[in-house]
């Protein structure tokens, strides 16, 4: 039986899809609507509070996990959409979209690792 990478790709797709469906809308609500509508105090999302939150190693892991999985979900969805739209060079689409997802993951990790408390 040939070895396949499909379980890895589908696992990332499913995890990212779950986060995109449940967590991302809640994050959008909290960061974009809750403060302007008065559900949260005005200083709850101040720079200092968010920076303090992101300096916690567990918060970095959670934020990276959300970014990582949602980016890989989007990459797989874009690959399949390109195929559905008639782009038959699947190897090129795979390299392009998964390469961008890998680059985005690396950039997110680098940005989060730079938040060491010295800012």
pLDDT of residue 118: 54
Nearest Cα neighbor of 90 from 79, 99, 100 is 79
Domains, the chain, ordered by start: 9-113 (1.20.1300.10)
pLDDT at 105 over 90: yes
Mean pLDDT is highest, among 4-8, 21-25, 33-37, 105-109, for 105-109
For the stretch 47-68, pLDDT in tens is 899 899 999 999 999 999 999 9
Distances (CA, A) of 59 to 44, 55, 65: 16, 7, 10
Nearest Cα neighbor of 108 from 76, 74, 65, 75 is 65
pLDDT of residue 112: 94
Element spanning 87, H or E: none
Rounded CA-CA distance 12/71 in Å is: 9
**pTM of the entire structure?**
0.80
Structure tokens that stand for 8 in this block: 């890895």
Nearest Cα neighbor of 97 from 113, 80, 85 is 80
Rounded CA-CA distance 29/13 in Å is: 23
pLDDT-derived band of residue 103, with 50, 70 and 90 as boundaries?
very high
Place of tokens 């190693």: 57
DSSP structure string for 12-33: HHHHHHHHHHHHHHHHHIIIII
pLDDT of residue 45: 87
Contact criterion met (CB below 8 Å) for 90 and 79: yes
For the stretch 2-21, pLDDT in tens is 887 778 777 878 888 888 89
């Amino acid at each position: 039986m040939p070895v396949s990478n499909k379980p890895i790709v589908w696992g990332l797709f499913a995890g990212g899809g779950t986060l995109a469906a449940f967590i991302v809308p809640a994050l959008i609500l909290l960061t974009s609507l809750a403060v302007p509508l008065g559900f949260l105090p005005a200083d709850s999302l101040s720079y200092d509070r968010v920076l303090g939150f992101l300096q916690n190693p567990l918060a970095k892991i959670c934020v990276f996990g959300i970014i990582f999985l949602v980016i890989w979900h989007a990459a797989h969805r874009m690959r399949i959409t390109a195929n559905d739209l008639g782009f038959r060079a699947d190897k090129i689409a795979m390299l392009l979209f998964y390469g961008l997802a890998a680059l985005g993951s690396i950039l997110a990790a680098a940005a989060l690792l730079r938040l060491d408390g010295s800012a």
